[in-house]
Amino acid sequence: MAGGSDTAETVTLTCARCGKPSHLQCPKCMDLKLPREGAAFCSQDCFKASWSTHKAVHLKAKLSSIGTGNSGEHNSDFANEGWLYCLKKGQARTPKLPHFDWTGTLRPYPISSKREVPPHIDRPDWADDGIPKIEPNSDFQHVVEIKKPDQIEKMREVGRISREVLDAAARVIRPGITTDEIDRVVHEATIAAGGYPSPLNYHFFPKSCCTSVNEVICHGIPDARKLEDGDIVNVDVTVYYKGYHGDLNETYFVGEVDEESRRLVQCTYECLEKAIAMVKPGVRFRDVGEVINRHASMSGLSVVRSYCGHGIGELFHCAPNIPHYGRNKAVGVMKAGQTFTIEPMINAGVWRDRMWPDGWTAVTADGKRSAQFEHTLLVTETGVEVLTARLPTSPKVFPWLN
Ligand SMILES: [Zn+2]
Ligand SMILES: [Zn+2]
């Protein structure tokens, strides 16, 4: 896969992963004419092991070349060019939409320019260059951390702040508001609380929260589309505060929503409730998916398989990985002091997902609607504490809770 060693010069390059002398060059970096330092690898093994983080270099180069107006010439192989342009400039995507077999009626709209975070706010390590550095290399990708009382107190604090930020977003949802305006509310509420919006620039994600409308399963990018009467919209908020992340989401009704969508959203809410009710020390992570799958299939709904719940704390995403579907192979049992999310995504039609050409927006393969709810949870000695639980001040937007 790698290859294309360069014979023109005799400079000794060192492996971007292990530092040994290297003669392999990343072919994509060569295509893009990127500096050879940082693009050299001693072996296919080091190249492959680095790929998940290294590939970010390519996207970053494409984005910056587009920013300086050199987008044309050498980039004819970029099916994504129009999208990247819009991510960068916030220009109308419509005239330059790439060819894509859209699964439903939703389309991307222009994205506004990047929102600023004031310098006094503590930032995660991806805030400046888009690349998480501690997270992918941490032992807590393999071992589930048991948090100490002082860490748990920090998790409680960020959990409550994240909830307040999501509630602020919930209060402005109505027909006619754009998802970009929701993003602004999330961004400003997060900063007002002294936090950093974790999604912002995480692997280059361009906005401060995810907004997933109708057939979007998750990771929708807030944009200039106005919400329409009858839409459903999930808002997913993560806040970074005093070194810890809190993560939650809810799916809201926009105006009057049809009966089928109301049932989908309520059933998804119940799936999360049932999963939370089983959390306590000794329960197997793989049983979470059994409970969710049973409840969803009872209503003729299906469970998304490509996106899972995750450990959370000083890292945004870490072990354990918690699938929401049945017959999964997740390993391990719950122990007191662990913190993780459960966030089932439930589809009205088939479970299968597709990715928009923006590399983020996950949609249902059949274009039917999808709903999601998420909480950050703490396993206690006797059961569970919902760190992102609703507050007495939370807006009463779900009819089944009134
Ligand atoms: Zn989330
Ligand atoms: Zn999450």
> Which CATH number goes with the domain that contains 288?
3.90.230.10
- pLDDT beyond 70 at 374: yes
- pLDDT beyond 80 at 86: no
The band of 63, judged by pLDDT with boundaries at 50, 70 and 90, is low
In a shared domain, residues 272 and 393:
yes
What percent of the chain lies above the pLDDT cut of 70?
A: 89
Binding-site residues, in ranges, read: 219, 236, 247, 310, 317, 343, 374
In a shared domain, residues 230 and 354:
yes
Total number of domains constituting the chain: 2
Q: How far is the CA of 85 from the centre of ligand 2 (A)?
A: 28
Q: How far is the CA of 319 from the centre of ligand 2 (A)?
A: 12
Give the pLDDT confidence score for residue 214 in this predicted structure: 98
Q: Does 88 fall in a domain?
A: no
Residue 376 near residue 388 (C-beta atoms within 8 A)? yes
Binding-site residues for Zn(2+), in ranges, read: 236, 247, 310, 343, 374
In a shared domain, residues 24 and 141:
no
Closest-CA residue to 348 (of 289, 301, 399): 301
Give the pLDDT confidence score for residue 65 in this predicted structure: 60
Whose atoms come closest to the Cα of 218: which ligand?
1
**Given 56, 78, 100, which residue is the final one in a domain?**
78
Q: Does 140 fall in a domain?
A: yes
Give the pLDDT confidence score for residue 26 in this predicted structure: 83
Residue 219 near residue 372 (C-beta atoms within 8 A)? no
In a shared domain, residues 166 and 307:
yes
Name the residue with higher pLDDT: 77 or 235: 235
In a shared domain, residues 240 and 341:
yes
Q: How far is the CA of 307 from the centre of ligand 1 (A)?
A: 11
Q: How far is the CA of 235 from the centre of ligand 1 (A)?
A: 8
Phi and psi at residue 272, in whole multiples of 5°? Answer: -65, -40
**Average of per-residue pLDDT across 106-111:** 92
- pLDDT beyond 80 at 97: no
Give whichever of 14-28, 100-114, 177-191 has the largest mean pLDDT. 177-191
**Average of per-residue pLDDT across 312-338:** 97
Whose atoms come closest to the Cα of 311: which ligand?
2
In a shared domain, residues 262 and 390:
yes
Q: Does 183 fall in a domain?
A: yes
Q: Does 1 fall in a domain?
A: no
Give the pLDDT confidence score for residue 314 in this predicted structure: 98
In a shared domain, residues 64 and 178:
no
- pLDDT beyond 50 at 4: no
Q: How far is the CA of 297 from the centre of ligand 1 (A)?
A: 23
The band of 22, judged by pLDDT with boundaries at 50, 70 and 90, is confident
Give the pLDDT confidence score for residue 44 in this predicted structure: 82
Q: How far is the CA of 289 from the centre of ligand 2 (A)?
A: 16
Give the pLDDT confidence score for residue 272 in this predicted structure: 98
Burial profile 142-166: b = 16 or more Cβ within 10 angstroms, e = fewer: eebbebeeebbebbbbbbbbbbbbb
Residue 22 near residue 40 (C-beta atoms within 8 A)? yes
β-pairing, 13-14 vs 21-22, is antiparallel
In a shared domain, residues 175 and 277:
yes
By residue count, the chain amounts to 402
Binding-site residues for a protein, in ranges, read: 219, 317
Q: Which domain holds residue 303?
A: 134-401
**Given 34, 55, 78, which residue is the final one in a domain?**
78
Residue range 210-228, pLDDT digits in tens = 999 999 999 999 999 999 9
Q: How far is the CA of 71 from the centre of ligand 2 (A)?
A: 34
Q: How far is the CA of 277 from the centre of ligand 2 (A)?
A: 19
Give the pLDDT confidence score for residue 7 in this predicted structure: 35
Phi and psi at residue 65, in whole multiples of 5°? Answer: -65, -35
Give the pLDDT confidence score for residue 89 in this predicted structure: 43
In a shared domain, residues 60 and 194:
no
Instruction: Out of 45-54, 211-220, 305-314, pick the least confident.
Output: 45-54
- pLDDT beyond 60 at 82: no
Whose atoms come closest to the Cα of 377: which ligand?
2
The band of 13, judged by pLDDT with boundaries at 50, 70 and 90, is confident
The band of 202, judged by pLDDT with boundaries at 50, 70 and 90, is very high
d(CA 354, CA 331): 27
Q: Does 363 fall in a domain?
A: yes
Q: How far is the CA of 202 from the centre of ligand 1 (A)?
A: 13
d(CA 5, CA 27): 9
Q: Does 95 fall in a domain?
A: no
Q: How far is the CA of 330 from the centre of ligand 2 (A)?
A: 17
- pLDDT beyond 90 at 83: no
Based on C-alpha coordinates, what's the Rg of the chain?
22
Q: What count of Cα atoms within 13 Å lies in the side-chain half-sphere of residue 190?
A: 36
Whose atoms come closest to the Cα of 210: which ligand?
1
Q: Give the rounded distance of the alpha carbon of 107 from its chain centre.
A: 19
Residue 387 near residue 156 (C-beta atoms within 8 A)? yes
The band of 95, judged by pLDDT with boundaries at 50, 70 and 90, is low
Tokens 């809201």 appear where?
A: 252
- pLDDT beyond 60 at 8: no
Q: Does 294 fall in a domain?
A: yes
- pLDDT beyond 70 at 137: yes
- pLDDT beyond 60 at 91: no
Whose atoms come closest to the Cα of 341: which ligand?
2
The band of 176, judged by pLDDT with boundaries at 50, 70 and 90, is very high
- pLDDT beyond 70 at 85: no
**Given 35, 56, 78, which residue is the final one in a domain?**
78
State the chain's mean pLDDT as an integer. Answer: 89
- What is the layout of strands, in order, in the sheet containing 302-303? 302-303, 345-347, 370-372
Give the pLDDT confidence score for residue 217 in this predicted structure: 98
Give the pLDDT confidence score for residue 5 in this predicted structure: 37
Q: How far is the CA of 76 from the centre of ligand 1 (A)?
A: 35
Give the pLDDT confidence score for residue 93 in this predicted structure: 52
In a shared domain, residues 40 and 182:
no
Give the pLDDT confidence score for residue 11 in this predicted structure: 61
Give the pLDDT confidence score for residue 32 in this predicted structure: 81
Residue 222 near residue 231 (C-beta atoms within 8 A)? no
Q: How far is the CA of 35 from the centre of ligand 1 (A)?
A: 36
Structure tokens at 287: 């049983």
In a shared domain, residues 187 and 47:
no
**Average of per-residue pLDDT across 176-205:** 97
Name the residue with higher pLDDT: 33 or 326: 326
Closest-CA residue to 52 (of 141, 157, 140): 141
In a shared domain, residues 190 and 54:
no
Q: Does 274 fall in a domain?
A: yes
Name the residue with higher pLDDT: 164 or 33: 164
Give the pLDDT confidence score for residue 64 in this predicted structure: 66
